[in-house]
Structure 1
Amino acid sequence: MQPPAGRSVIRVGVDVVGVERFAATLQRTPALAARLFGPGEQLTAGGHPRRPSSLAARFAAKEAVAKALGAPAGMHWHHCRVIADPSGRPELLIVDSVAAVAAALGIVSWELSLSHDAGIAAAVVLGLG
């Protein structure tokens, strides 16, 4: 991933999630999905429930953002959302507690890459200043 012209990388976060383990956790604790994801994150653009691999990748993105920010106390899962741009490409929407920490570090935008294959979901985020 290359930062856009005029931007520099301030922080990097990476996380991986075992899809099968994550799916089992969601199945065992049904309320967990609502604590981790907003309604827009749980459904595809067509309104269908996301596959466990897709949810695991989105959770990895949230964890990667937390790592990039130094995992400060007081951050809320819903303040970091993985949304889709009009073409379907995933983007980060950072608000409230997460946005405040990012701003204090000089982060003004984010780049996100998600992947899932062979039972593993992964995310890489760049916090750009």
Structure 2
Amino acid sequence: MIIGVGIDVVDLDRFEESLQRTPALRERLFTPSEASRPHASLAARFAAKEAIAKALGAPVGMAWHDAEIVSEETGRPRFELRGTVLAQADALGVRHVHVSLSHDAGIASAVVVLEG
């Protein structure tokens, strides 16, 4: 059963400008392992975090570090949930989180599907 779906897009140039204008933003939004990635990859990860927030019903107090995108050995992205995000997912009965990331032509995008 599908519990939630979220999608988000990020303009790569605007995102990079935001990171340059506010250096602390990188640390606030991303875990150390995420933060070391190139800006297009960061933008896609930010889109994924926004998408999961939408799929979860935009929970108040969601901590950005509680939804981390990690790469499997194959390169496939997946979420590692903890803390505030895991609590909301558990409360909704989420058993599987599917995520797809993309970046091309100046846009990064992500789609998240929550399955119960």
Shorter-chain TM-score tier: over 0.9
Alignment of 1:1-129 (within 5 A): 8-43=1-36, 50-129=37-116
Which amino acid is 1:10 matched to? Answer: I
Unpaired runs of at least 5, structure 2 = none
Q: What is the CA distance between 1:42 and its match in structure 2?
A: 1.9
Which amino acid is 1:88 matched to? Answer: G
Q: What is the CA distance between 1:51 and its match in structure 2?
A: 1.8
Q: What is the CA distance between 1:109 and its match in structure 2?
A: 1.6
In angstroms, what is the RMSD of aligned CA positions? 0.8
Say how many residue pairs are matched.
116
Q: What is the CA distance between 1:52 and its match in structure 2?
A: 1.2
Unpaired runs of at least 5, structure 1 = 1-7, 44-49
Q: What is the CA distance between 1:79 and its match in structure 2?
A: 0.3
Structure 2 counterpart SS, 1:126: strand
User: Which portions of structure 1, spanning 4 or more consecutive aligned residues, are displaced by more than 4 angstroms?
Assistant: none
Q: What TM-score do you get using the length of structure 1 for normalisation?
A: 0.87
1:51-101 deviations in whole A, cap 9, x for unaligned? 211100000000000000111111100000000111221111111100111
Which amino acid is 2:17 matched to? Answer: A
Following the alignment from structure 1 to structure 2, what is the Cα–Cα distance between the partners of residues 109 and 80?
14
Following the alignment from structure 1 to structure 2, what is the Cα–Cα distance between the partners of residues 28 and 37?
16
Following the alignment from structure 2 to structure 1, what is the Cα–Cα distance between the partners of residues 51 and 64?
12
Structure 1 counterpart SS, 2:59: coil
- Indicate the structure (1 or 2) with the bigger Cα radius of gyration: 1
Q: What TM-score do you get using the length of structure 2 for normalisation?
A: 0.97
Structure 2 counterpart SS, 1:63: helix
